[in-house]
Structure formats: C-alpha cells, structure tokens
Amino acid sequence: MPRYRLTLEYDGGPFVGWQRQTSGPSVQAALEAALAKFVGEAPESTAAGRTDAGVHALGQVVHVDLARPWQPQKICDALNYHLRPDPISALAAAEVPDTFHARLSAIRRSYLYRILNRRAPPALEAGRVWHVERPLDVAAMHDAAQALVGHHDFTSFRASICQARSPVKTLDRLAVRRVGDEIHVDASARSFLHHQVRNLVGTIAQVGLGKWTRRDVERALEARDRRAAGPTAPAEGLCLVDVGYPAA
C-alpha cells in the first residue's frame, strides 16, 4: 500500500479547523471526501499540524495511504477537481516510504502572523489579517519577542484545552518586521502548544501599543500562568507556511 505526501494550501475561514469534527466542515473531511471520489476508497489522512478554525495554510503537509500506485500529478489534478468549490488546493504530491509520518517526522513548523497596522480596514485581505488601527512599535515588539526565544516552560502561552504532555518547548525563532502597512511575525519551532503562536503575538502586541515592556513579557513567561500573558490574537491572521523534514 503506497504512501503519499501531499502539500496543501487552504483558506481556513470556512472551516472549523483541520481536524474532522461534528460541529462543522473541516479541511480533513473535505480532503478525504475528494480522495474517496478519486480512488473509490475512504483513506484516512494525517496532517503535520492541526490548524484551528480560521487559520490558513500555505504549506500544510499530509500523508495518506492508497490501495494502489498513482502518478503524483494525477493525484493533484484529481484532488483539485474534486475539492471545488472548497478553498483548498493540492500543490504537490510525492510517494514516500511508509516510515514517513506527516506529524511525527516533522522537525520544524513555521508560521506567519500578519497584522494590518493602519487606520483603514482591509478590503482585499479581510479574513487574512488582524486589523490593528493604533500604530505599533515594531522595534519594541521584536526586542520583547527575543525574550521568548529558546527553551522555556510556555504555560503562560498555552490554551486551557491544550493536550500536549508538557508545556516545555523550544522556540527557535520569533521575529517581527514591517512590510508596508503590515507587521509580520515569523515563528518557527519543532512543535507548538495549542494557541501558542496566537498568544505570543497577542502578548508582544501589548508591547507594540506601549502598554507593556520587555520586562512585562519576561514576567509573563516566568509566571507560568495563562492569566499573566496577553490576549489571544485572532485566528485569521495566522498561516502555517512550511513544515520541515530531515533531508533523507
């Protein structure tokens, strides 16, 4: 039974998240329905990251096991046909060894959080950015973000429903930069806690607004208490950009 690695792009707005749920449409359910129409079976799919409701993806990685071999481009073409009109695109497919696991084999996940920082609301980018009207101090945000990089107990930035066994994670990168009217926050780590990126962004935004200092962010981290950190940034600004795997 050959295993295939799929790379997906999707708009998370219409979905309750990646994972199949009874409360509404999910990316996983849409993908598996498209696969069933194509191959005549109902294979289960496993994703590198279970993105939340409203969170987007440019490079979500999924693996599926199919009953027979298919040409990778045929898989992409068939999926893109059967996925319509859902805002999901299959960008690439490749046959991989059965030892490959989209979630467990991943060694890096990279996210981009976009803040539209201007008075006027978004027209073309509505649903894909967090609109913050008040000016944000990007340099102060970046400086405070560096206090969060490294190996820490991230309890203060963890959702109450998080199912991870440990709150201890290594945050490899948290960089803040301005791109025109937008502020981009790049976050990379082997893995993240539930809502961790959105909680990190919501916290350093308090610094950008002048309400907090870097020391306040450090105290929030040290507190190991979700109530000590800033608010959770909206889901629509977050996008899973890339998933890294060992070169072999």
Residues annotated as catalytic (active site), given as ranges: 52
Of 62, 116, 70, 115, which is closest to residue 88 (Cα–Cα)?
62
CA distance 15 to 51: 10
Scan for tokens 């962010």, then name that residue.
217
Distance CA 217, CA 139 (A): 15
* Backbone torsions φ then ψ of 77, nearest 5 degrees: -60, -45
Beta bridge partners of residue 187, listed in sequence order: 111, 174
CA distance 154 to 47: 23
